[in-house]
Structure 1
């Protein structure tokens, strides 16, 4: 689930997992002998055993030893001194931060030594007393890994920037923050609109605070009060202008001021780049507002503009409504042999490739992610091609994203199709839908875990997975089981099927419940926040911004996968007409339910 930040889980893919054929014509990174030795080393490491000296002596290429040691240390069976020494020797390693957190939790600490004493109270009555004292001291922590040092350095720089502010600026921002934190929004807004605030604060600070006030008024559905502050923020030429114009248009629309809303969103579309966060969204809602105001020509113009954003949820809706058929090239990325030879000369990239060769795909993806900054842009497509053939879909997606950000579209990398991951017992649900969820949940990393505890490809919570397993009559899964793609996918499709049955196949409700939980969904529906008569309004009304974004992104992912397999994107057509998309028990199209107003 996407509600939280991700960190690397310690249990990596099990030994013996089959790995893809090596890309044709590309020399293997490891010799056959080293490959066999490393497979045994990593199998032992998964059980907490460090590489044996006899194994190490048989290796010609030793660059993966630190990775094997990290895996063994993550099992918690080695001494603290060994763990500390490894972190000090490998501060740049992909797992160094994870092992540092383990060291903080497990370092030797003072022991509590107690003995029983017999004492007398003031009346001379004897009683037993337990006297305790501390013995020993905390062991020294290892040096902080590079990633943690850099993060703390960034935070320190931000804090230093804040402390550089003149006293008057800090005082005013503090006053506004205090008022906002107590929902005294009108008072905070009036301060920001005052001549004094315009003199003391720079435009970016003032705009940011006004946007926060307007957003809070939107949260509590007091659009009439929030509209003036959103419009004021939208008049400031700063980084928050697009967010301000979106909120201003939304507030006006919810107040029934459709023409004003349309013009505000129209202004946003004219100012924001096509890849901007609100471009397609504003174009879609501007078209709807213009249409409701009887301005059909302007509505069509907005849809045509929105269709230029051909990768976002709203951009795809605009294209569908405008009758624009996007051109998508699903060709495989090209592998340039010269670029491949150059990539192997980069130590971290070579390590990632070697890990893929021995079947340690998860760790390979983590290592290659750490290498992003040293990969020349012109070699990005080659690494994407390698990743797709070497069963590294998360790496391929990242390379596809890097290409997209530079204006190059490589859809096969952006939306990898790892058909080799199969649920135990077979795929019962629509594969495109499951991949759409997987892409958003874990970015194709089987061993990823969230701070909230969600695990694996489909980010299942352990409690949820146990409940679903019990309902399905399956064995109770362990936390480590959830890092096995076959088990994770099996339970995830069971869960999607469970939600499907509870929610009558309404895919919007299913996705919202998958992300935020069925309890939250029921609460929102009970409060009337998700109107049956207006699916698009229901999506925008989802109170949790993360869940709202999740629903939109998973649906867009699904439409892309349907495009890849040349399936009908029936749910896109349904939503474009503001109908509820409804799926059958296998997650496939059952039709569109007309919204009942």
Structure 2
């Protein structure tokens, strides 16, 4: 028994160390050096064993250097095409790399190759789900819905079964097939009764009714969700659902009911929707106590929300029409102001920029010679990040929630969520964000931004009215 435990421990340590190697800068530098030595005089990469090609591809993939990763995967295709030990992961990696590069047509092609040859593997199952995601991003929503339905049929107990049901609802909605989308809401509720997926399906119905301005039906959908009260693990919350109910009441002209419902949300001072509800109440001229909220972000929180890199922020962000306090809000969430921070996804520096994104903007930021390690320099990171955020601000019409969602969840996804938002208000957009991680990120960044706006001026000088 002790030998078994020791073996498991050794394997676990090896797995952890291997995972760490696939994304740290030392591993990347080593693989780059090894690749130089593995080329002939013409620059052609030598054929190595399948495991070595797979490992080097993983290192490049983890550092978002996709062409370099594909060079090794191509070697596997050319020389080890019948090796079932490496082929599923190879085909999956190629397809995912194209998806990350937003080359969705190529991604679908390679996902199809994977599904045809290795549907019985985990990579094959994942590939079918990601094929649906790629089709959505191509605007082929009806085809995407059919792909997700294929997943539901083929893999009723698959790893992505819950999200496949929910993605069918969204894809049908985006295809304009609203009636069928509602049918799948009921199918999802039945299949996952008592589970978060059932709550998410009802939440999809609530959002759909708001989109169609069916205000009474939206209120009814919100009331069903509120009566269930099981929000843990779901994509929504009591605050969000209550806010959306108040929004529908306001649209119906039931002002006093709307104010009372907004007030119920505004009591939660730490909630994103609490802040938005407070804003609504001020516009509705209610007797809400704004001073009480201001006290909650007084001097004590000033220590938790410092102004760092002020000169760089004013030089790079304000000059591009971005509120430096918003950049601080992102910086706080992304790196905690640690210039040397690096994530498992190979995001680097203060604003956690990935190399392939930085390569799009480094010249605009004034850096013609540029490599990934430069992102650890605060001035470089803030300069490139400011160019990127400025472009997102233009793309999303200054809606900071959409900018934050795009920053974390990708531009194509944020575009979809904005298209589903009607009206295009901050809180409605936030409710449409389709990834749990991204939604939580938006809430945190926007809460940070709210506090920074209350503590500091746009020139990053302390506000005198905060006590």
Match of 1:578 in 2: none
Conserved 8 A contact 2:222-2:245: yes
Mark the CA change 1:93 to 1:237 in structure 2 (over 3 Å): closer, same or farther: closer
1:268 equivalenced with 2:225 (yes/no): yes
Match of 1:328 in 2: 296
Match of 1:59 in 2: none
Q: What pairs with 1:427-466 in structure 2 (closer than 5 Å)? A: 429=318, 430-449=323-342, 455-460=348-353, 461-466=357-362
In structure 2, C-alpha distance between the alignment counterparts of 1:433 and 1:330, rounded to whole Å? 19
Which runs of 5 or more structure 2 residues have no equivalent in the other structure? 1-12, 56-61, 63-120, 133-142, 282-287, 462-467
Structure with greater proportional helix content: 2
1:300 equivalenced with 2:259 (yes/no): yes
1:278 equivalenced with 2:171 (yes/no): no
In structure 2, C-alpha distance between the alignment counterparts of 1:108 and 1:219, rounded to whole Å? 45
Q: What pairs with 1:154-169 in structure 2 (closer than 5 Å)? A: none
Q: What pairs with 1:59-458 in structure 2 (closer than 5 Å)? A: 98=24, 99=26, 181=132, 183=144, 185=146, 188=149, 209-234=164-189, 236-270=193-227, 271-272=229-230, 277-279=235-237, 280-322=239-281, 323=288, 325-326=292-293, 328=296, 330=298, 332=300, 411=301, 415-419=304-308, 422-423=311-312, 429=318, 430-449=323-342, 455-458=348-351
Conserved 8 A contact 1:287-1:300: yes
Mark the CA change 1:220 to 1:438 in structure 2 (over 3 Å): closer, same or farther: farther
SS of residue matched to 2:446: helix
**Higher mean displacement: 502-511 or 260-269:** 502-511
Match of 2:363 in 1: 467
Deviation, structure 1 residue 303: 1.6
Mark the CA change 1:432 to 1:509 in structure 2 (over 3 Å): closer, same or farther: closer
In structure 1, C-alpha distance between the alignment counterparts of 2:447 and 2:347, rounded to whole Å? 23
Conserved 8 A contact 1:110-1:135: no
Match of 1:481 in 2: 374
Conserved 8 A contact 1:109-1:137: no
Larger C-alpha radius of gyration, 1 or 2?
Answer: 1
Mark the CA change 1:564 to 1:241 in structure 2 (over 3 Å): closer, same or farther: farther
Match of 1:62 in 2: none
Conserved 8 A contact 2:350-2:378: yes
Conserved 8 A contact 2:276-2:427: no
Deviation, structure 1 residue 288: 1.2
Deviation, structure 1 residue 529: 6.4
Mark the CA change 1:548 to 1:219 in structure 2 (over 3 Å): closer, same or farther: farther
Match of 1:561 in 2: 452
What whole-Å deviation, never above 9, does each CA across 1:153-178 have from its counterpart, x for those lacking one?
xxxxxxxxxxxxxxxxx9xxx8xx78
In structure 2, C-alpha distance between the alignment counterparts of 1:307 and 1:450, rounded to whole Å? 34
In structure 1, C-alpha distance between the alignment counterparts of 2:162 and 2:406, rounded to whole Å? 35
**TM-score normalised by the chain length of structure 2:** 0.54
**Higher mean displacement: 260-269 or 272-281:** 272-281
Conserved 8 A contact 1:312-1:553: no
- Number of residue pairs matched by the alignment: 354
Conserved 8 A contact 2:313-2:324: no
What whole-Å deviation, never above 9, does each CA across 1:474-515 have from its counterpart, x for those lacking one?
775554332111332244445556776x57983549836973
Mark the CA change 1:134 to 1:112 in structure 2 (over 3 Å): closer, same or farther: farther
**TM-score normalised by the chain length of structure 1:** 0.44
In structure 1, C-alpha distance between the alignment counterparts of 2:203 and 2:29, rounded to whole Å? 44
In structure 2, C-alpha distance between the alignment counterparts of 1:523 and 1:486, rounded to whole Å? 29
Q: What pairs with 1:524-563 in structure 2 (closer than 5 Å)? A: 537=428, 553-563=444-454
Structure with greater proportional strand content: 1
Conserved 8 A contact 1:449-1:456: yes
Mark the CA change 1:560 to 1:273 in structure 2 (over 3 Å): closer, same or farther: farther
Deviation, structure 1 residue 427: 7.2
Conserved 8 A contact 1:482-1:488: yes
Conserved 8 A contact 1:422-1:485: no
